Chain A
């Protein structure tokens, strides 16, 4: 019984960690700009493609940092070009701009790749097979949750104990008063995008290592899942996004293995295709949260006094 469930839980924790790294980008940008950055999942995909092309031309020791730097630069540029000019525009305009950027990135990727699946390079060591608790898996599966937790702890420390972190919290509450303190809100917003895309770049390396390749729509599904995780945890809350991502990752993975688990259990005798519902589960969850607890697990309580 345990031997049947364990691999699914371990792989779920790993996928959850990858979702978490993407979800933080959604939740931080929402926290500061009140914007759902629809392009975030596509930035994640572009990061995957960058790795494909750069790893083909350069040694990995150069390619990996370069991919991270270029992804961060992309996130920074998107904010500069597509969101900053709309700073005083209604929120809906910025959101539409985000959707535009999302399609732009997907179509650029389609143009460059010709829509073909691009094989993701093998990253030595982290792609290696290892045996843990009697089950065989790739090392990345084991590393992901630990790396995620380390990055999240560092991020929380940054936000709670540094000057820029304090400025981020201030800006997330009120632009105008923050400006009166001398905070340049544009720099703070840029910093937020830089952190968010950095984490997405790391997430993309962990994610695509486990998958055969990258296509222009590769970012859409993980992006959506991470978004649901952020909403589930309470959008704007970093711990919320991380916990939401782990829960979604584990549940999804368990549903994927539900047939096998039930067969071993003796409940059913043959595959009945429950795995098909693993994606549906995430979105049903989204609807349930939005209906019953729109602020999510740790969402901001709206304390606006009138």
Chain B
């Protein structure tokens, strides 16, 4: 269980988060929706340790992780699929997966997990020797997800996985998110594609200019009038 309490983050003179509280229970898919600049990415970047907070706390399974170095947070089981995929274009597909397991030493298990990722994304196996830069956008997103899975995360955070992808590909990505979740990985997802995100999520939060304004189950927010007006375009 991840609990974020009263989180305040500023950077570049902007108060990006102003006392945010969210909970991500184990085994669930939780989504954070909101407009551009609402602070969604800041949220994930703070949890992963990339961004320092001003005040507040982030407790993961009873441990305060705020202020921990990035690699320690990853070791606790929190991995991130960054916005814009950010695969290592100068590394092969296989190397991208291997680097996802950078902190792990168990070679045999790493090999098994590579097979597992190839099962989830057969396309990656076909292209394992290709440079990641030659993959299509959708394939790169698969690779970014596969790479994050290689650290054997208990909680996977995804920053806008649907960004810039064709609708059919987006559908595939969301199916994979559900599949990964079925296999026991908790998912914290941020999305501008609110419709897809809410349909997939067990729990949802709406973030507006650094504050949580609404929360509920995915189904509840899908029918919420304010959400419909602001994010679903109805």
Contacts and interface: CB of A to CB of B under 8 A. Distances in A.
Contact of B82 (A166, A173, A180, A184): A180
Contacts of B88: 169-170, 173-174, 177
Contact of B50 (A173, A174, A176): A176
A181 B86 contact: no
Interface string A177-191: 101111110000000
Name A's interface SS.
helix
Interface stretch (B20-28, B89-97, B119-127, B215-223): B89-97
A182 B102 contact: yes
Nearest to A172: B90
Interface string A183-203: 110000000000000000000
Contacts of A303: 89, 133
Contact of A182 (B89, B90, B98, B103): B103
A292 to B, nearest CB: 25
B91 A169 contact: yes
Interface in B47-65: 48, 50
A179 B82 CA distance: 11
18 contacts: A163-B102, A166-B91, A166-B95, A166-B98, A166-B99, A167-B99, A174-B88, A179-B50, A179-B70, A180-B48, A180-B50, A181-B100, A181-B147, A182-B70, A182-B103, A183-B102, A184-B71, A303-B89
A182 B102 CA distance: 7
Nearest to B144: A177
B64 to A, nearest CB: 20
Contacts of A173: 88-91
Given A166-B91, A166-B95, A167-B102, A182 B71 contact: yes
Contacts of B71: 179, 182-184
Nearest to B137: A305
Interface residues of B, number: 23
Interface of B: 48, 50, 70-71, 74-75, 79-80, 82, 86, 88-91, 95, 98-100, 102-103, 133, 147, 151
Given A170-B99, A176-B82, A181-B103, 17 more contacts: A166-B91, A166-B99, A167-B102, A169-B90, A170-B91, A174-B86, A177-B82, A180-B48, A180-B50, A180-B74, A180-B80, A181-B102, A181-B147, A182-B71, A182-B75, A182-B102, A182-B103
A180 B90 contact: no
Interface of A: 163, 166-167, 169-170, 172-174, 176-177, 179-184, 303
Which of A163, A179, A182, A184 has the most C-beta atoms of chain B within 10 angstroms of its own C-beta?
Answer: A182
Nearest to B81: A180
A169 B89 CA distance: 10
Contacts of B48: 180
B91 A182 contact: no
Nearest to A179: B70
A176 B83 CA distance: 11
Contacts of B100: 181
A172 B102 CA distance: 16
A160 to B, nearest CB: 10
Contacts of A177: 82, 86, 88
Contacts of A172: 90
A184 B70 CA distance: 9
Which of A163, A173, A180, A303 has the most C-beta atoms of chain B within 10 angstroms of its own C-beta?
Answer: A180
B188 to A, nearest CB: 14
Contacts of B151: 181-182
Contacts of A163: 102
A170 B75 CA distance: 19
A215 to B, nearest CB: 41
Which of A170, A181, A303 has the most C-beta atoms of chain B within 10 angstroms of its own C-beta?
Answer: A181
Which of B80, B82, B99 has the most C-beta atoms of chain A within 10 angstroms of its own C-beta?
Answer: B99
